[in-house]
Amino acid sequence: AQSVTQLGSHVSVSEGALVLLRCNYSSSVPPYLFWYVQYPNQGLQLLLKYTTGATLVKGINGFEAEFKKSETSFHLTKPSAHMSDAAEYFCAVSEYIQGAQKLVFGQGTRLTINP
Amino acid sequence: EPEVTQTPSHQVTQMGQEVILRCVPISNHLYFYWYRQILGQKVEFLVSFYNNEISEKSEIFDDQFSVERPDGSNFTLKIRSTKLEDSAMYFCASSREGNSNEKLFFGSGTQLSVL
């Protein structure tokens, strides 16, 4: 069965600093990987996803993630944090089931941006 | 961008009572899901629904749970006799296709509190 581990339930960075949110996965098949973000009082929103092809994936709001098979990682980065990036971030791996998609999530990382 | 709508945003109920959580998926989507997140824990898959039947359910989704698409727009989750441990944030999601790399659109959730 697939699983996801996010290192750090809470990350705090200064505005303008690099954001790095860590995600490691376990999968017996080539994984499809996702990062979702949840802003306060909103639903989870897709930031980016890796399926096949280029291992560096660019998403919305300046975020990107790199799939590293050798490290079983899919860390999320942004070069320069903005106050509006404060949210909870979820890494997930997709498990195909008959006739539907099932996401297996990590425990989430709450990102705080300090002025 | 189109949205998945969930009502109510908060629901408080007494143990043993029935609750119905309501969702309006995106209109041209064909696959529907419920996930939940108990406070401090991971977001967990509950059930997927396609073509008016359950396509997959987790171990959590026991006989106390049921889903229904009573008309062309609503998708509901019913808990027949709530337990304290059912207290969680419940997220509805939908997608146009059921592929493993599909983007899910999530609602903002219903916070269920069982007293």
Higher model confidence: residue B100 or residue A103? A103
At B71, the pLDDT band (50, 70, 90 cuts) reads confident
Instruction: Give the span between the Cα atoms of B19 and A11, in whole angstroms.
Output: 36
What local confidence, expressed as pLDDT, does residue B99 receive?
A: 82
Interchain contact, B31 vs A32, CB within 8 Å: no
What is the mean predicted confidence (pLDDT) over B53-67? 94
Q: How many residue pairs bridge chain A and chain B with CB atoms within 8 Å of each other? A: 72
Q: Does B44 touch chain A (CB under 8 A)?
A: yes
Answer whether residue A98 shows pLDDT above 80: no
Answer whether residue A49 shows pLDDT above 80: yes
Mean pLDDT of chain A: 93
Buried b (16+ CB within 10 A) or exposed e, B8-34: eeebebeeeeebebbbbbbeebebbbb
pLDDT in tens, A69-86: 999 999 999 999 999 999
What is the mean predicted confidence (pLDDT) over A49-70? 94
Q: Which of B9, B34, B37, B43 to mutate to test the interface with A (most CBs of A within 10 A)?
A: B43
Of residues A43, A90, A105, nearest to B107 (C-beta): A43
Interchain contact, B102 vs A36, CB within 8 Å: no
At B34, the pLDDT band (50, 70, 90 cuts) reads very high
Q: Rounded to an integer, what is the distance from CA A112 to the centroid of its chain?
A: 15
At B2, the pLDDT band (50, 70, 90 cuts) reads confident
Q: Nearest 5°: phi and psi at A9?
A: -80, -20
Give the rounded percent of residues in chain A with a pLDDT score beyond 90. 80
Instruction: Kindly list the strands in the beta sheet with A19-26, ordered across the sheet, starting from the edge strand earlier in the chain.
Output: A3-7, A19-26, A73-78, A64-68, A56-58
Interchain contact, A95 vs B42, CB within 8 Å: no
Answer whether residue B55 shows pLDDT above 80: yes
DSSP B102: P
What is the mean predicted confidence (pLDDT) over A16-43? 92
Answer whether residue B101 shows pLDDT above 80: yes
For A34, residues 6+ apart whose C-beta sits below 8 A from its C-beta are: A46, A47, A48, A49, A50, A91, A92, A93, A94, A103
In terms of phi and psi (left: phi > 0; alpha: psi -120 to 50; beta: otherwise), the region of A62 is: left
> How far does the CA of residue A38 sit from the closest CA of chain B (Å)?
9
Q: How many residues does chain A have?
A: 115
At B62, the pLDDT band (50, 70, 90 cuts) reads very high
What is the mean predicted confidence (pLDDT) over B54-78? 93
At B40, the pLDDT band (50, 70, 90 cuts) reads confident
What local confidence, expressed as pLDDT, does residue A69 receive?
A: 93
Q: Does A46 touch chain B (CB under 8 A)?
A: yes
Give the rounded percent of residues in chain A with a pLDDT score beyond 70. 99
